[in-house]
Amino acid sequence: AQSVTQLGSHVSVSEGALVLLRCNYSSSVPPYLFWYVQYPNQGLQLLLKYTSAATLVKGINDFEAEFKKSETSFHLTKPSAHMSDAAEYFCAVCVDTGRRALTFGSGTRLQVQP
Amino acid sequence: NAGVMQNPRHLVRRRGQEARLRCSPMKGHSHVYWYRQLPEEGLKFMVYLQKENIIDESGMPKERFSAEFPKEGPSILRIQQVVRGDSAAYFCASSPPTGQGLSETQYFGPGTRLLVL
């Protein structure tokens, strides 16, 4: 079975600073990996996804993530944080498109300080 | 193209009552998924449906919970005899049919927040 670990339930950065949110996965077969963002009392919005094409994936709002098989990681980065980036971020994995269930990490709450 | 729609957005029930949560997938999507999010936790998969078929219900509690996706109309998640532990946000997601681009990508609705008193 697959699993996702997000290191750091809370991350705080200053506006303009680099954002790094960590995600490690466990899977016995090549995974599909996703990052979603959730704003308070809202649903999840897809930021980006990895589906075995390029290992560096670019998403919306200048976010990107790099798939590193050797490290079983899919960390999310953004060069310069904006106040509007404050939200909860979830990493998710799907290993069987036939079954399709996403397994989510526990989430990382990003705070952006002025 | 409207996104995934869920209603109601908020639902309050007393213990023992029934809760019905509705989900209309994005236009052209034939796959529907339900997830539950307990406070301060990530989302947990419950069930995956296609029209008139339950494909995977491995995440559904064995009792009191059921889901359907009829030929016409929205998908329904039904919780009978609710208990306080059922209080959570329930999210629906949808994806395109298999074989179409991005079929592995799930698009989420805004959720229904259920509170059991």
B25-48 confidence digits (pLDDT tens)? 999 888 999 999 988 788 999 999
Residues of chain B neighbouring A42 (CB-CB closer than 8 A): 110-111
User: Is B45–A103 a contact, with Cβ atoms under 8 angstroms apart?
Assistant: yes
What pLDDT, in 10s, does the model give residues B57-80? 999 999 999 999 999 999 999 999
B104/B71 Cα distance (integer angstroms)? 22
User: Is A43–B109 a contact, with Cβ atoms under 8 angstroms apart?
Assistant: yes
Query: Minimal Cα–Cα distance from B15 to chain A, Å?
Result: 24
